[in-house]
Chain A
Amino acid sequence: IQLTQSPSSFSASAGDKVTITCRASQGVSRYLAWYQQKPGKPPTLLVSGASTLQSGVPTRFSGSGSGTDFTLTINSLQAEDLATYYCQQYKSDPPTFGPGTKVDL
Chain B
Amino acid sequence: QVRLQESGPGLVRPSETLSLTCTVSGGSISHYYCSWIRQSPGEGLEWIGYFSYNGRTKYNPSLDSRVAISSDTSKSQFSLQLTSVTAADSATYYCARGSRIDCSGGTCFQGSFDIWGPGTVVTVSS
From known contacts A42-B94, A97-B45, infer whether A90 and B116 are also in contact, taking CB-CB under 8 Å: no
Alpha-carbon gap, A94 to B64, bound state (A): 11
B112 at the interface (CB under 8 A from A): yes
On whether the beta carbons of A42 and B117 are closer than 8 Å, the reply is yes
Q: In the complex, which residues 71-126 of chain B have their Cβ closer than 8 Å to any Cβ of chain A?
A: 94, 96, 99, 101, 109-114, 116-119
Nearest Cβ in chain B — how far from A60, in angstroms?
20
**Neighbour of B110 across the interface among A54, A95, A97, A100, CB < 8 A:** A95
On whether the beta carbons of B111 and A99 are closer than 8 Å, the reply is no
Residue of A at shortest CB range from B113? A45
On whether the beta carbons of A48 and B111 are closer than 8 Å, the reply is yes
Alpha-carbon gap, A100 to B61, bound state (A): 22
On whether the beta carbons of A95 and B116 are closer than 8 Å, the reply is no
Residue of A at shortest CB range from B109? A90
From known contacts A33-B112, A90-B110, infer whether A100 and B47 are also in contact, taking CB-CB under 8 Å: no
**Chain B residues positioned under 8 Å from A61 (CB to CB):** none
A96 at the interface (CB under 8 A from B): yes
**Neighbour of A93 across the interface among B58, B113, B116, CB < 8 A:** B58
Alpha-carbon gap, A68 to B114, bound state (A): 23
On whether the beta carbons of B44 and A43 are closer than 8 Å, the reply is no
Alpha-carbon gap, A96 to B47, bound state (A): 7
On whether the beta carbons of B116 and A43 are closer than 8 Å, the reply is yes
On whether the beta carbons of B112 and A48 are closer than 8 Å, the reply is yes
Candidate in A41, A86, A88, A94 with the most chain B CB atoms within 10 angstroms: A94
Q: In the complex, which residues 46-91 of chain A have their Cβ closer than 8 Å to any Cβ of chain B?
A: 48, 54, 86, 88, 90
**Neighbour of A94 across the interface among B60, B114, B118, CB < 8 A:** B60
Residue of A at shortest CB range from B63? A94
0 or 1 for each of A8-38: is its CB under 8 Å from B? (1 = yes): 0000000000000000000000010101000
Alpha-carbon gap, A88 to B98, bound state (A): 12
Q: In the complex, which residues 36-79 of chain B have their Cβ closer than 8 Å to any Cβ of chain A?
A: 44-47, 58, 60-62
